[in-house]
Amino acid sequence: MATSSMASTSGAARKDFAEFVARFPVSPEGQPPSKRQRVESGFPDDRIFYDKWRTTQYAKREEYLLSHFTVRRPSAAKVARIIKQEGWKVNCPKPVQEDIVGLWTPPSKAAVEEDRFILRCVSKQTWSGLVIKDFGAKQGLGVVVTRTFSKHDVVCDYHGRVISAAEGRAMVQGLHDEAGYLFFFKAGQRDRMHRSTPEPG
């Protein structure tokens, strides 16, 4: 009887994690196998594969959450909403700076240029967080923001040159009645200005 038990344990030990996930596939929405399921499938009754399975799922859930924010930095509230929609209660990242929000990285220039959402915004010229405001007969129309933008956010597409705010103010003095759209903004600790020009072509 003891010999049979040892042989069974030895056989279970020979099974590796690749076999474990082949038997119990890992997915963001899946549930880890119970101890009974693991043992009945010929795996050890300890938690080594079980814990590794959960670690793998956690990483997949991180990847899944980040996939929703390819262009703009996620907010904790938006991440929390997705987690709630998925029904995840355990083994999932927290929607805080140390987890998903902190893991987000800005997209590459190539990724931005190919992003469907960005392409649609460029085509329709509708940008979330930007509106045109009438400043009266003297100043005319201008662009103002309606929300806070995070570092690395794609605000809009533009054609023109970015210069310092001081240069921009000097330019304003010399414009007189010349048409032009000037957008003053802060980049980090620097005051900048962008003067829009007609789109090429």
pTM for the full predicted model: 0.59
CA 14/CA 40 separation, integer angstroms: 15
The parent domain of residue 188 ranges over 126-196
Position 63 confidence tier, pLDDT thresholds 50, 70, 90: very high
Quick count: other Cβ atoms within 10 Å of Cβ 79? 23
Instruction: Examine the domain organization and report whether 17 and 78 are in the same domain.
Output: yes
Q: Which amino acid is at 174?
A: G
Residue 116 domain-assigned (yes or no): no
Among 69, 103, 137, which residue terminates a domain? Answer: 103
Q: Do the beta carbons of residue 163 and residue 192 sit within 8 Å?
A: yes
Interval 3-12: pLDDT, tens? 444 444 444 4
Across 159-167, average pLDDT: 78
Mean pLDDT within 32-39: 96
User: Tokens 């040892």 identify what position?
Assistant: 6
Residues 19 and 87 in one domain: yes
Segment 179-195, tens digit of pLDDT: 456 777 777 788 888 77
Cα–Cα distance, 96 to 80 (Å, whole number): 9
pLDDT of residue 9: 45
Say which range, 71-85, 124-138, 145-159, 181-195, has the weakest mean pLDDT: 145-159
- Both 187 and 97 in a single domain? no
Q: Are residues 158 and 68 in the same domain?
A: no
Q: What mean pLDDT do residues 81-105 have?
A: 88
**How many domains, the chain?**
2
Q: Is residue 108 part of a domain?
A: no
